[in-house]
Amino acid sequence: MMGEMIPPPGPLVCVVGARPNYMKMAPLVRAFGARTDLPSVLLVHTGQHYDTAMNEKLFADLALPPPDINLEVGSGTHAVQTAEIMRRFEPVLDELTPSCIVVVGDVNSTLACSLVASKKGVPVVHVEAGLRSYDRDMPEEINRVLTDQIADVLYTTERGALDNLRREGIPPERVRFVGNVMIDSLMEHRRRALLPLDTLVREGHESKFLDDPAGFGVVTLHRPSNVDGSETLREALDILRAVALRLPLIWPIHPRTRGNIERLGLSRLLEDARIALLPPQGYLEMLGLLCHARLALTDSGGIQEEATALAVPCLTMRDNTERPITVEQGTNTLVGRNRQRILECVDDVLVTGGKRGQVPELWDGHAAVRIASDLASWLARREGRVAVACA
């Protein structure tokens, strides 16, 4: 009808659910909000990670605005959590009729919200697409593969991701190589990172962990393959004790890991070791620890990337990684729980400085800006096609 008002486009619904999502979404929200040719941004937190105090601190550290909607899903098995996120997210989409949803990473919230949106005809934009470990025992691998299959636009952090997606039948025209938004956050906030001494003193640890002329290492371990079984966890703790004889370690310990250590009666393995056990830390505290560390011992994907960007040698206690560029070009070495291999790598770090590598292509702090520009163009083209189809 002539003169009929055209409704404004629905919002960009940006979804976060777990700690790794926050670092990736913060620069995106800022980049989206800076453009007048994009719809308004609405931030949905599924509540998959539900430590209220830590969430608030992480949001503040990253200058990420409080979520507009919190689904407050909480914990549960993978099936229960995924289903509950879907159940609670569907009415949000019904009410908002968004232009698209933007999901990041590979947590249960990423897949659950993508499934709901896809079934309701809402476009799905996946940031950090195409990463593959080719280990289907990892729940995150299932989330990655399925989210990419239903995504309408896929933004990748490394060029090799396109080959992964092609092999899975995803048309290349859906894929854009833009760089790494995790590194956007690192570069944005590096100058604000807290000094390790301040973090240790606040947590009641003496500065002896920083007095060793060799420096210190940072540990993060949370993968089920390392911490859920009695023998594997015991093996990991024995390795950390051996490393700590060479280099003191600072370990902000994941609640599930700490709980498993206590439940399995393994706390004695950490007694008298040069390992400073800390509660989970904020983004600026962790960034400060990593910036000043001689090395990182981890099973986290994000730490592999951050260590590469900071030129900190990283020993990943896994047999595979979905971020191969951190091994091929960066500072990362896959060591599993091979005690001899790990100690050899530690000795190499202490003698030569270890693997330094280089910062990968487009890990330059501007990935979110590139995504915002491309998404504005894609939405404009899509809305134009929709308008023509409805005429």
End-to-end CA distance of the chain: 10
CA distance 35 to 242: 52
The CATH number, out of the four listed (3.40.50.2000, 3.40.50.1820, 3.40.120.10, 3.20.20.70), of the domain defined by the range 12-179+363-390 = 3.40.50.2000
Of the listed ranges 48-52, 143-147, 224-228, the least confidently predicted one is 48-52
CA distance 326 to 311: 11
Q: Domain spans of the chain?
A: 12-179+363-390, 193-352
pLDDT band at 361 (very low <50, low <70, confident <90, very high): very high
pLDDT at 322 over 70: yes
Q: Rg of the chain over CA atoms, in angstroms?
A: 22
Q: Is the fold of 12-179+363-390 the same as that of 193-352?
A: yes
Known catalytic residue: 222?
yes
pLDDT at 9 over 90: no
Reply yes or no on domain 193-352 having CATH 3.40.50.2000. yes
Per-residue pLDDT tens for 132-144?
999 999 999 999 9
pLDDT band at 53 (very low <50, low <70, confident <90, very high): confident
Question: What is the model's pTM?
Answer: 0.94
**Out of 222, 254, 292, 366, which one is annotated catalytic?**
222
Average pLDDT across the chain, whole number: 94
Q: Which of 65-79, 207-221, 283-297: highest mean pLDDT? A: 283-297
